[in-house]
Amino acid sequence: MSPIKIGLVGVGKIARDQHLPVIAANPDYDLVAVASRNATLDGVDSYGSLDALLDARPEIEAVALCTPPQGRHALARHALERGRHVLLEKPPGATLAEVHDLVGLAKEKGLALLATWHSRYAPAVEPARAWLAGRTLKSVSVSWKEDVRHWHPGQEWIWQPGGLGVFDPGINALSIITHILPRALVLKAATLEFPANRQAPIAAQLDFQDLSGVPVRAEFDWRQTGPQSWDIVVETTDGTLALNRGGAAMSIDGVAHLEEPEAEYANLYALFSRLVRNRQVDVDLAPLSHVADAFLCGHRVLVEEFHD
Amino acid sequence: MSPIKIGLVGVGKIARDQHLPVIAANPDYDLVAVASRNATLDGVDSYGSLDALLDARPEIEAVALCTPPQGRHALARHALERGRHVLLEKPPGATLAEVHDLVGLAKEKGLALLATWHSRYAPAVEPARAWLAGRTLKSVSVSWKEDVRHWHPGQEWIWQPGGLGVFDPGINALSIITHILPRALVLKAATLEFPANRQAPIAAQLDFQDLSGVPVRAEFDWRQTGPQSWDIVVETTDGTLALNRGGAAMSIDGVAHLEEPEAEYANLYALFSRLVRNRQVDVDLAPLSHVADAFLCGHRVLVEEFHD
């Protein structure tokens, strides 16, 4: 089968760190060109907009949208209307309605659409899901604490309405627990800490229950300097499962069961290739829906101003 | 067919103003008893909790839940688990996940579940929907402005997280426009005004677009004294449709087309009776999902403190 001719929109940090190297390494893809308002890329044709990209390079079959979430819906809708398959960086939109719309449009057009919950493709996530299936849970604890200055240097969009703040990394944890836990979750209470000078929270504490009443506590914090935490601990009647380093490592009762190299975006692009060949949609709204619930029913607290 | 033996939980303002008179007037229902933490009702047996109600009166087939939204999920889940049909006052829950859960449970158990978007049953709503179908829209403007002190005297829950604030009435407008407009809406921008001493907004401005790009502007305000506004104006290429008084009245280019007596809850209970007979679920998540989107991507502004 000939490689998928792909274009990439939004040449920012996530595109350079993940998408471009993974596309280059995967023989299923042929990167035709990129679109970016101001960035260029050595050795790759670059256009100023999605429209210019598709006008100049009609052979493009699929686009990867790596721009901030606030403008993603318009780009995705436009690409689908012009008959292109679409890969959406996470979160898949700034609102639930946007994502519902894209799912409907992709199905109507028979095009592939992928909402990339990349953390679900961390190497230990499937083994954790398999180990938990059928076991009796006692409690779940999520700690997702990192240094925003290190991971999102100068990214203003992340603090603006629709930018999600600490839920931008936190939604990765939610994408994992909604995948590995045997039962659906319902948010019972939440606290969101907003810096007095910002529109998005810098920290959040979420208390979910699963549908059998198991407490699921998640703590997200962007003020963590020193060691960073991306840990999920599930206590069961058969022992304690820990997923560490964002799903890269797994242990049971402290004994390492898996320590594999990270390959999240490689797995995602392998999945997207299958979706494109079969013209399928893979969009799970659950992680974004839980974030919307947290904003909807969360207790807002104003905290110290944040300056980059 | 024998009347549906119904119990009512939460004897507050909405129960007294609407549910109880409508149940009394409808021969499809036999009100068995009510549950309330502190209120009692002349001539009707009253119990301290849902459990006490169902224990004492096992003949109850259906329950109407008129308590505040924050505790509704636990009550509804419990009633469904005990095999009772459930009518949910609006909003149907404090989170989207709660409502998803109830829909799944009701379907699994083969029980009726109704999310009551009562404003959709205002007399002019169906005629407005019929008139708009197939017409070309130019713009939509929603003005939902009322005096919170008059309509929600001393209701603390409405200001607490999950209480929705001005979206408690505003969701009525959203339930109408999501029903009468021909195309789905996507929220593009929102501003939410929070009193500095409250957890819920007192005003909001929402800018939607429908999927053909028509602008839909909604203004909600709880600080309106004097005349109250519950108006929706739809400009089309064939003239301007106005829905006034919350859907009770309709005019086209200023000419009244309909002025019917209000019968929202009577219509709702007629619908619920059909759902119970057929063990069906009628839960549209769109209005609550748009509210969640507004909290998710809205610009928050702090305004003057509110004191009851």
Residue B267 resides in a domain = no
Q: Which residues of A touch B184 (CB under 8 A)?
A: 97, 100-101, 104
Chain-chain contact of B199 with A73 (C-beta, under 8 angstroms): no
What's residue A298's pLDDT?
A: 96
Is A13 tagged catalytic? no
For the segment A236-265, the average pLDDT, to the nearest whole number, is 92
Helix A167-180 vs helix A125-132: crossing angle, to nearest 10: 40
Tell me, yes or no, if B190 comes closer than 8 A to chain A by beta carbon: yes
> Which of B297, B299, B300, B302 to mutate: most A Cβ within 10 Å?
B297
What residue type is assigned to position A155 of the chain? Q
Tell me, yes or no, if B199 comes closer than 8 A to chain A by beta carbon: yes
Residue B270 resides in a domain = no
* Tens-place pLDDT, residues A116-153: 999 999 999 999 999 999 999 999 999 999 999 999 88
**CATH number of the domain within which B201 lies:** 3.30.360.10
For the segment B127-144, the average pLDDT, to the nearest whole number, is 97
What's residue A177's pLDDT?
A: 98
**Do A84 and A191 fall within a single domain?**
no
**Do A126 and A240 fall within a single domain?**
yes
pLDDT band per the 50, 70, 90 thresholds, residue A104 = very high
Question: Of A90, A107, A145, A188, which one is the catalytic site residue?
Answer: A90
CB nearest A187 (choices: B95, B190, B199)? B95
* Start-to-end Cα distance in chain B: 47
Q: Which residues of B touch A100 (CB under 8 A)?
A: 184, 289
What's residue B204's pLDDT?
A: 98
> Which of A81, A96, A183 to mutate: most B Cβ within 10 Å?
A96
Residue A270 resides in a domain = no
Shortest alpha-carbon distance between residue A208 and chain B (Å): 10
Share of chain A above pLDDT 70, in %: 100
Where does a domain end: A115, A139, A174? A115
Q: Does residue A265 come out as left (phi exceeding 0), alpha (psi in the -120 to 50 range) or beta?
A: alpha
| Contact by Cβ (8 Å): B158, B267 | no
**Do B106 and B125 fall within a single domain?**
no
**Which of A37-46, B31-40, B298-307 is most confident?**
B298-307
How many angstroms separate the CA atoms of B258 and B277, rounded? 32
**Do A141 and A196 fall within a single domain?**
yes
**Do B29 and B156 fall within a single domain?**
no
How many angstroms separate the CA atoms of A36 and A24, rounded? 18
Tell me, yes or no, if B171 comes closer than 8 A to chain A by beta carbon: no
pLDDT of A293 > 90? The answer is yes
For the segment B46-65, the average pLDDT, to the nearest whole number, is 97
**Do A105 and A222 fall within a single domain?**
no
pLDDT of B258 > 80? The answer is no
pLDDT of B162 > 90? The answer is no
Where does a domain end: A91, A115, A139? A115
Tell me, yes or no, if A190 comes closer than 8 A to chain B by beta carbon: yes
Where does a domain end: B64, B98, B115? B115
How many angstroms separate the CA atoms of A233 and A228, rounded? 16
| Among B88, B168, B177, residue whose Cα is nearest residue B132 | B177
> Which of B101, B157, B183, B186 to mutate: most A Cβ within 10 Å?
B186
* Tens-place pLDDT, residues A27-63: 999 999 999 988 788 889 999 999 999 999 999 999 9
**Do B100 and B126 fall within a single domain?**
no
**Nearest chain A Cα to B77, which residue?**
A211
| Contact by Cβ (8 Å): B281, B76 | no
What's residue A261's pLDDT?
A: 83
**Do A218 and A255 fall within a single domain?**
yes
Q: Which residues of A touch B300 (CB under 8 A)?
A: 161, 194, 199, 300
Q: Which residues of A touch B94 (CB under 8 A)?
A: 296-297
Mean pLDDT rounded to a whole number for chain B: 95
What is the domain count for chain A? 2
CB pairs under 8 A between A and B: 93
| Prediction ipTM score | 0.92
A102's tokens: 């894209």
Which residues span the domain enclosing B68?
A: 4-115
Q: Which residues of A touch B291 (CB under 8 A)?
A: 296
What's residue A272's pLDDT?
A: 98
**Do A123 and A111 fall within a single domain?**
no
Contacts (Cβ under 8 Å, ≥6 apart) of A2: none
Q: How many CB atoms lie within 10 A of CB B37?
A: 10
**Do B35 and B80 fall within a single domain?**
yes
Q: Which residues of A touch B161 (CB under 8 A)?
A: 189-190, 297-300
Shortest alpha-carbon distance between residue B252 and chain A (Å): 30
What's residue A154's pLDDT?
A: 85
Chain-chain contact of B300 with A97 (C-beta, under 8 angstroms): no
